[in-house]
């Protein structure tokens, strides 16, 4: 029989084992503000990219700590898919996405329309649309444009606004919601 010493169990392995059991036992929150203040044991993101075909379903925060490797994977996932440029995504944005998703009581992953945008991509999009901000929070890694097939733009926007953590834009004609960690504000219809 193999001798199991404490040195053979890594912190990441322990957190992974905890996360696997905590997902099923995680409490349901009725208020995203409490979730963003740190209540609860885990924070999880579920997204897929129609542009790259990639998917993530991961716990990125456990018991008051961000998991560096998980956040790094989210940064890569939310990269500018046109240029492959990666930017550190503001964890406040991740918290808003996770809290809003939780408030909607949905298991469907978000479809990521746009995460980080390089200056080159943002300039190209601005040349094609008046709805793209020159100093977009996407350039700073502080925003995401998202869609859910099981929820309306209005439902998603209300959940994001309940988080009271940043900007929420409704783009009903294009069927997506913008969420960012900037000043609290809302726009669109």
Q: Note the pLDDT tens digit of each residue in 116-173.
A: 999 999 899 888 887 788 889 999 999 999 999 999 999 999 999 999 999 999 999 9
Residues 6 or more apart whose Cβ sits within 8 Å of residue 181 = 90, 92, 93, 95, 96, 137, 142, 143, 165, 166
Q: Give phi and psi for 63, each to the nearest 5.
A: 45, 50
Residues 40, 139: Cα–Cα separation, whole Å: 31
**pLDDT value of residue 130:** 74
Strand partners, 58: 45
What domains does the chain contain, in order, with CATH numbers? 12-188 (3.30.1380.10)
What average pLDDT is seen over the chain?
84
Strand partners, 59: 44
Residues 84, 112: Cα–Cα separation, whole Å: 15
- Where residue 41 falls among pLDDT bands split at 50, 70, 90? confident
């Amino acid at each position: 029989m193999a001798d199991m010493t404490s040195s053979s169990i890594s912190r990441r392995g322990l957190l992974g084992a905890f996360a696997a059991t905590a997902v099923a036992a995680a409490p349901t929150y009725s208020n995203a503000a409490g979730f963003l203040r740190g209540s609860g044991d885990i924070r999880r993101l579920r997204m897929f990219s129609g542009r790259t075909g990639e998917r993530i379903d991961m716990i990125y925060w456990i018991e008051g700590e961000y998991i560096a490797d998980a956040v790094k994977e989210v940064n890569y996932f939310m990269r500018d898919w046109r240029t492959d440029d990666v930017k550190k995504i503001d964890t406040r944005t991740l918290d808003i996405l996770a809290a809003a998703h939780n408030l909607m009581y949905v298991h469907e992953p978000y479809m990521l329309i746009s995460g980080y945008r390089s200056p080159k991509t943002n300039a190209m999009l601005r040349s094609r649309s008046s709805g793209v901000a020159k100093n977009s929070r996407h350039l700073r890694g502080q925003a995401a444009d998202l869609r859910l097939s099981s929820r309306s733009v209005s439902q998603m926007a209300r959940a994001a606004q309940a988080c009271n953590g940043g900007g929420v834009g409704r783009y009903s004609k294009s069927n997506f919601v913008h969420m960012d960690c900037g000043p609290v504000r809302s726009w669109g219809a």
